[in-house]
Amino acid sequence: MGIVAGLDSSPDFTRIVVCDADTGSVLRQGYAPHPVEGVEGGGGGRPSDVDPQAWLLSLGEAAGGGLLEGVQAIGVSAQQNALVPVDAQGNTVRPAMVGGDKRAQVAAADLIDALGGREAWAQAVGCVPQAAQPVTKLRWLARNEPEAAQRTAVLMQAHDWLVWQLLGRPVRRTTDRGGASGTGYWSAAMGNYRGDLVELALGRQAMLPEVLGPSDAAGTTPEGLLISAGTGETMAAAFGLGLGLGDVVVSLGASGSVMAVHPEALFDSTGMITSLADATGLHLPVVTTLNAVRTLRGTAELLGLTDLESLSDLAMKSTPGAHGLVMLPYLEGERTPNLPHTAGTLAGLRRESMKAEHLARAAFEGMLCGLADALDVLRGRGVDVQRVFLLGSAAELPAVQTAAPPLFGAQVVVPQPADYAAIGAARQAAWALGVSQGTLDPRTPPAWQGAAAQVLEPGEELAVGQAVRQQYVSVREQTHPGAFRS
């Protein structure tokens, strides 16, 4: 079928992969950082500002040296939640808003109250407004820059804007289900925009991009290059990994997230589940924790260790259950369960447990048990969990790989590092190209080879892991009774 490209415009750089359209094999790749002069800090507590031209400049640099020669279709993945407000002439009315901070949190709280609470939002669009979301940025814009808000005629996100630029800025603006589902004004369950929520946030209506289907093309460039619908980074990475029903992704960043592939949108009255759409026509319910790797870093500092590898080595000298030491890792408060003003807890201190290796082990087990709590929120809503994909540099640590399968009660897959968002964007391009040529079904994506990965089974340790998990749950229930009751 030829060759296709996928480009991922992340917050800091553009990465491009060129792939064989039939197999997904990466043939060549390019990379360029966004120029720093395109970025302004979000001073004074406002969302950060970025000139979208910076994204185009790095795209051009990453594609240099004939990288795209012979490419027939391109897919675009980009950072989520970036709001690009555009005027009636197609010019940005201000730099793109890409961050989220305390002042934006005030705007989020205002919106939650204005619609009648968290449950009202969850029911309307499958998520509760947060500082980073476009709907919250609109509220911030209306309150703090009313003149810019008044000139805003079209609302776009990063991948919408890039696709539009690649197509030569046509009259038609497009997006996809995945990107739209993160805005706070499109419902994944209903498959439509909530213009009333745009008006609630901005104070007036604005034009919204047409939501394309997963295998639809956004258009063709004058040179004949097909551009697929594009999507957000999370959805592109899930597509690049080859996730399907029964698969869950646990991402280990400073905070953590648990995301599953599910056939339908999940409404959650507590707001713990954010109901996103994926890049294939299915759904991606997400549960977030505020404390993941920051728990490990804090423990390493406390023990005078300089890196997480040393903490992992120390933890491996302990045994499952850390001699009864249990850490509730709520260092920044917690979102799952909803305990925003709490602190972490260290329980089970006895003379024999007061050793550095047991504290190190308790930190790993506490972080993973917190993520297992998030996983159980999804399981409790009928989500099938067969495989857990573990992402993030901490997924390589022996202490994580040893403890995760028995604590999660599932097979754990640790994919080799790769540009999965860019690969997912390229796979989307191959799908749209195949449909346009009549060689692929619009309901079935191309069957590319899955990610190369290490597979870890719970095995004989499952019973031990579940006992450790129960120890954690007992401490959590004693310390925060009923924290998971809706």
Q: Are 231 and 157 in contact (CB under 8 A)?
A: no
Average pLDDT over residues 107-135: 94
| Phi–psi pair at 192, nearest 5 degrees | -145, 160
Question: Residues 46-77: pLDDT tens digits?
Answer: 578 999 999 999 999 999 999 999 999 999 99
Single-letter amino acid code for the residue at 294: R
What angle do helix axes 134-144 and 195-202 make, rounded to 10 degrees? 30
Question: Residues 197-247: pLDDT tens digits?
Answer: 999 999 999 999 999 999 999 999 989 999 999 999 999 999 999 999 999
Q: What are the structure tokens assigned to 133, written together?
A: 């979301």
Closest residue by Cα to residue 9 from 177, 161, 167, 180: 161
* C-alpha–C-alpha distance, residues 156 and 162, integer Å: 10
Residue 53's CB: how many other CB atoms inside 10 A?
A: 15
Length of the chain equals 486
**Cis check: omega of the bond before 11, within 30 degrees of 0:** no
Residue 3's CB: how many other CB atoms inside 10 A?
A: 22
Q: Are 136 and 129 in contact (CB under 8 A)?
A: yes
* C-alpha–C-alpha distance, residues 429 and 176, integer Å: 13
Using DSSP's 3-state secondary structure scheme, residue 276 falls into strand
Q: Are 125 and 184 in contact (CB under 8 A)?
A: yes
Question: Residues 267-311: pLDDT tens digits?
Answer: 888 889 999 999 999 999 999 999 999 999 999 999 999 999 999
Question: Residues 366-413: pLDDT tens digits?
Answer: 999 999 999 999 999 999 999 999 999 999 999 999 999 999 999 999
pTM over 0.85: yes
Chain mean pLDDT for the chain: 95
CA 406 to mean position of chain CA atoms: 25
